[in-house]
Amino acid sequence: MKNERLRGKTIVITGASGGLGEQLAYMCAQNGANLYLLARNQEKLDRISASIREQYNVKCTPIALDVSKYDHIPKVFQRIYDQAGEIDVLVNNAGYGVFTEAGEVELADLEGMFAVNVVGLIACTKEVIPFMCKRKSGHIINIASQAGKLATPKSSVYSATKHAVLGYTNSLRMEMSQCGVFVTAVNPGPIRTGFFQTADPDGSYLENLGRFILNPKKVADNIVAAMLTNRREINMPSWMNWVGTLHTLMPNTVERLGRKAFFKK
């Protein structure tokens, strides 16, 4: 996907050591953006960054960061501002899920999902808000989920975190519109990434999804195309988003008709 708006811009991506984050990094580099890649795994980040620099001749800096370690976040973003001077796009991609029934959720998993998916995302966003507002430009992209629109069995906590992300993003969008900063929520359905190694270790959910699972390259392509444009949401696949919209209008009917499919986790 060609997006000339990205040439020479500085883009920060969390959760960039694999999956969707890695695909976004390569596509942004193809468009001439300079990158800061954040994730817990320094070795993977180093490998991806070296490959990007070699292929696309852009600046690409890997920085190890666990977004659930909130006190580390300001130091990392200060380092980026000291080196780059500005951040044009922040992609809050870091996140994970554990699929289990509500009565069996481990408190450690509950705390972990909220720490990474919600509080870590908000903490990273807080680091760019004053700078983007001062410049009156920038783009904050939050990777939420269709689970933030339509909760299904065995994803109660994960869905709760993504509902929180959408609520935060919708409020943030209105606030940031006053200073010309774009805010976009990305709501993908299931993507074929390493996410399911944790969420679905036995592979049954992926097997049931079959051809409906999204290709991470296609999702990344849509996100990169929208960067530095005033796009409210990116919803994929469209049919799943329609189910979520229909659920808002007729929740009892959707839950009754979709009960069998919803339990295929």
Q: What is the pLDDT of residue 213?
A: 82
Q: In CATH, what class is 4-262?
A: alpha beta
Residues with Cβ within 8 Å of residue 27, at least 6 apart in sequence: 1, 220, 221, 224
pLDDT by residue (tens digit) across 27-45? Answer: 999 999 999 999 999 999 9
96 catalytic residue (yes or no): no
- The β-bridge partners of 63 are 38
Smallest CA-to-CA distance from 92 within 20, 43, 196, 33 is with 20
Within 13 A of 204's CA, how many CA atoms are on the CB side? 8
Q: Yes or no: say if 65 and 40 are a contact pair by the CB < 8 Å rule.
A: yes
In the chain, DSSP finds a helix count (H) and a strand count (E) of: 12, 7
Active-site annotation holder among 26, 36, 158, 168: 158
Q: What is the pLDDT of residue 132?
A: 98
Low-confidence ranges of the chain (pLDDT < 70): 1, 193-212, 239-265
Domain ranges of the chain: 4-262
Q: What is the pLDDT of residue 151?
A: 82
Q: What is the pLDDT of residue 214?
A: 85
Burial of 237 (C-beta count, 10 Å sphere; 0-12/13-18/19+): middle
In this structure, the number of other CB atoms found within 10 A of the CB of residue 222 comes to: 16
Within 13 A of 87's CA, how many CA atoms are on the CB side? 29
Smallest CA-to-CA distance from 154 within 109, 116, 186 is with 109
- Verdict on whether the full-model pTM lies above 0.75: yes
